[in-house]
Amino acid sequence: MFHDRLQALLVPALQDAFSQLFNHALDVRSIGFQQTRPEFEGDVTINVFPFLKISGKGPEQTAQAIGEFLVAKVDVVERFNVVKGFLNIVISDAYWLGFLREAGEKDILAFPSTGEKVMVEYASPNTNKPLHLGHLRNIFLGWSVSRILEAAGNEVIKVQVINDRGIHICKSMLAWQKFGNGETPASSGLKGDKLVGKYYVEFDKAYKKEVDVLVASGRSKDEAEKEAPILLEAQDMLRKWEANDPEVRALWETMNGWVYAGFDATYERAGVSFDKNYYESRTYVLGKADVLEGLKKGVFYEKDGAVWVDNTAEGLDEKVLLRRDGTSVYMTQDIGTAIKRFEEFPGLSKLIYTVGNEQDYHFKALFIILKKLGFQWADELFHLSYGMVDLPSGKMKSREGTVVDADDLIQEVVDTARAVTTELGKLDDFNDEEKAVLFEMIGLAALKYFLLKVDPKKRMLFDPAASIDMQGHTGPFIQYTYARIRSLLRKGGELSVAGGQLSGAAGRTPADNHQLIIEEKAVVKLLHQFPAVLNEAATKLDPSSMANHTYELVKAYNSFYQSVPVMKEEDPAKRVFRLSLSRAVADTVRKAMWCLGIEVPERM
């Protein structure tokens, strides 16, 4: 990945090379720049094998000819070497130092506004239970993607759909009616979402007992599961809810209110928020008119009184959109909600759904259906599919009460951060309040970074203890490096690098004649790659590339820091340069971690 600044220099030169050497007009799309592999000298590598028919020469001769041309014509190309069909180009120190100077004069890490409006949906919890570990991966992924898109110049609208209706909600309500004895969050001391979740578990326990009794009386298990009295009561409660029964609706509003307050407290501690909430109790009526309009236009068809869509030509199957009794399915609601969002937010250019990969098929079908209905924006819908999170203990089941509660997990990583940080014994100048803030910051960094550093598509195993390692591939390690740099800059006196600009004797910058050592160049190159990393993360909607690049940057900086005595350097120009380089790393780390939704401390 390369900064546009370097490509702007190399691409025209390569076009000139092909024109003059081989009498060929080179298509810029055929040029593939790569990072030079560590075992070879070089900064940029070009694979010339695709160009052998154009050159009419062997791979080594083709690479040699192009390399000689670039050295002669491009100031920043210092030298080159050829390894088989690979041209390894060494970029001059002057280029890297010029990049740093520009970074000090203006924020070249910031993208200009794209003028695009993007909506990101994430979280989407049910109001019958508290948030759990699986929700946290979803929430942190959606939040980070939102920030990455914002950093890349987009206007971002963050939304969630709260699933606040259905049989699962009625199960919690009924169990509370039967077993709750008027218990409330205030009387129990429980967060509202935890209290409601407790009764979801209680329903399942009572249901299983009733099923066992029916099986013992001679019913088949299938019959018993359908005929259990408590399930029939829950189904009746759902019918009453749909008929706007005042008593059922009042209980529903009360218990949902408890849950919303609980969710809000978790979101606030996790450092995430939303611009708009959608509620399934309101959106479930959407989509019916759109489906009937599609039926009228011949996009859908009627069979046995139900409305269907045929997606077999697209490799899927036939699907019901409206049942015989006129009631909708989830697909119907999603059709209507998507249409409503594009109506509510004129100019919306992209809609991203952050939903687990068990819904891959659903979203493929949804996007096809919306396209069939004639909505051109259907091409701009994207399912940000992600894998499930496992723990060493195995899968989680909400109804059995075996989920890893989000609040408990956050508290666990904060407590672990407290224990690990206290053991290091570097908090003598922190008061109790400052310590509490620091432990919270470190714990959340550990949790968020561990969940975000993995490709979203992959299923992952979360290890709370490993996430806190101060010397590992973790959020706290990156935070520690940032705090170390900030301490270094305070000791070095930031006046000498005011505004990030390099200053030296007689008005000259030390960058004009500074010779980069290997460790410095490694850091500068990683700084140089950051805009391309940000662009890639925004394009692919994948925070893991940014998380991993940030780790590589701080790892390279630590190698530089251990090899070079920054503050003990006697040459003032070198010392100022190295402080400026340190500041550039700190600024980039802060921005990258902001994109990941992670705070960085000024001291640790």
Give the start-to-end residue ranges of the domains of the chain.
4-91, 166-282
Give the number of other CB atoms < 10 A from CB of residue 430. Answer: 16
Residue type at 474?
Answer: T
Choose among 383, 389, 285, 264: nearest CA to 333.
Answer: 285
C-beta of residue 127 within 8 angstroms of C-beta of residue 167: no
Taking each helix axis from N to C end, the angle separating 133-151 and 518-540, rounded to the nearest 10 degrees, works out to 100
Question: Would you say 31 and 44 are in contact if contact means Cβ atoms under 8 Å apart?
Answer: no
- Other beta carbons within 10 Å of 495: 7
Residues of the chain where predicted confidence (pLDDT) is lower than 70:
1-3, 106-111, 392-402, 494-512
Closest CA to 590 of 554, 560, 541, 538: 554
Give the C-alpha separation, 570 to 352, whole Å.
54
- Total-model pTM: 0.91
Q: CA–CA distance from 104 to each of 108, 496, 512, 594 (Å)?
A: 9, 13, 14, 20
One-letter amino acid for residue 603 of the chain = R
pLDDT of residue 361: 97
pLDDT at residue 322 in the model: 95
The span from the CA of 294 to the CA of 326, in Å, is 15
Distance CA 324, CA 328 (A): 10
**Residue count (the chain):** 604
CB 151, CB 107: distance < 8 Å: no
The pLDDT value recorded for residue 463 is 83
∠ CA 260-266-267, nearest 5°, is 85
Burial class (CB in 10 A: 0-12, 13-18, 19+), 221: exposed
Q: Tell which residue, 552, 600, 450, 382, has the closest CA to residue 1.
A: 552
Pick the CATH number of 4-91 from 3.40.50.1360, 3.30.1360.70, 3.40.190.10, 3.40.50.150: 3.30.1360.70
Q: With 0-12 CB in 10 A as exposed, 13-18 as middle and 19+ as buried, what is 471?
A: exposed
Alpha-carbon distance 93 to 517, whole Å?
A: 10
Question: Any idea which residue has 């329903």 for tokens?
Answer: 203
User: Which pair of tokens denotes residue 325?
Assistant: 């009794």
How large is the angle between the packed helices 572-595 and 518-540, nearest 10 degrees? 20
Element (H, E) at 448: helix 432-452
CA distances from 503 to 36, 66, 515, 581, 599 (A): 32, 38, 16, 13, 30
Q: Give the angle subtended at the CA of 256 by the CAs of 250 and 261, to the nearest 5°.
A: 130
Predicted pLDDT of residue 68: 97
Give me 305's structure tokens.
């009184």
Q: Is 113 exposed, middle or buried (0-12, 13-18, 19+ CB in 10 A)?
A: exposed
Exposure class string for 559-574: b at 16+ Cβ within 10 A, else e: ebbeeeebeeeeeebb
Identify the DSSP state of 92.
P
What does the pLDDT read at residue 427?
87
Q: CB count, 10 Å around CB of 420?
A: 18
| Alpha-carbon gap, residue 189 to 172, rounded angstroms | 18
